[in-house]
Amino acid sequence: MYVIRLPDGTLRVPHGVLLDSGDEGRVIADAYVEIGPNDPDYERLLDQSLTEEELEERRRGWREGDAELQAAFEEWKAENDS
């Protein structure tokens, strides 16, 4: 999950809800919370944030990369199955 910078400057930050189960916590939900410039973590998180467009561009690149990897695997599989 990524920190997303919205057009109004608000940051959408990943937030996990943990259930304490002894020595280890267990994530029971992942969500986003929105924070503004008054939040103490805002400046730190701003540096690592992406716009929604930048995030979509990354996802597109991953999908394209996945397609290339899938094609390479199918070629390898066809060569090794015969």
pLDDT, residue 60, reads 87
Residue predicted with more confidence, 62 or 25: 62
Query: The domain containing residue 75 runs over which residues?
Result: 4-81
Mean pLDDT, all residues of the chain = 86
- Digit-coded pLDDT (tens) for 2-33: 899 999 999 999 887 766 666 666 767 778 99
Nearest to 48, CA basis, from 14, 7, 8, 17: 14
Structural domain count, the chain: 1
Residue predicted with more confidence, 48 or 20: 48
Note whether 5 and 43 are within 8 A (CB).
no
pLDDT, residue 29, reads 75
Longest dimension (CA), the chain: 63
pLDDT, residue 57, reads 92
